[in-house]
Amino acid sequence: MPKLTLDDLAKIREKTKRLTTIRVGGEYRAKVCVHMGTCGIAAGARTIMNALMKELEEREIHDVLLTNSGCAGLCSREPMATVEVAGQAPVKYVDLTEKKIKEIFEKHVLGGKIVQEYALGIGSEKTDY
């Protein structure tokens, strides 16, 4: 028996590729940007970020880009996040909680449907990368 078959090699490639796509700027189905200025962090942006990391990990999703940015200038509505599904305008969500972001992830990021209830505005800004 060979130690590694062609199939095994392909599997290793696929898996590691997924884990390292962010190094080479592959295709993303969506970008989520959590606003993490001092105000955002104080308002609980870390919880939002952690919740998103957990979603990605549990669902083994590698084509959603998770980034953060500084203060979005609307400190009273923190925590905030911007979701940008490929080919669509970015949507800003405000007053987030862990529960809300999970719902947004499920419906908007994966399902492509904007969660109007939590959204502040559409097409307000582009994420950095």
In degrees and rounded to multiples of 5, residue 87 shows phi and psi of 85, 0
Report the residue number, 6 or 87, with the smaller CB distance to another protein: 6
Query: Helix or strand or coil: residue 33?
Result: strand
Q: Measured from the CB atom, is 2 or 116 closer to another protein?
A: 2
Q: Which is nearer to another protein, 5 or 124 (CB)?
A: 5
- Residue pair 40/80 in contact (Cβ under 8 Å)? The answer is yes
We find the least distance from the C-beta atom of residue 78 to another protein, in angstroms, to be 12
CA dist., res. 104 & res. 85, Å (int): 12
Q: Quick one: which of 107, 31, 16, 19 has its CA closest to 65?
A: 31
Minimum distance of another protein from residue 127's CB (angstroms): 10
Catalog residues that contact another protein under the rule CB under 8 A: 1-6, 8-9, 11-13, 15-20, 22-25, 33-38, 41, 46, 49-50, 53, 56-57, 60, 62, 65-70, 128-129
Q: How far is the CB of 91 from another protein (least distance, A)?
A: 18
Give me the least distance between CB of 117 and another protein, in Å please: 26
**Nearest by Cα to 98 from 58, 47, 57, 26:** 47
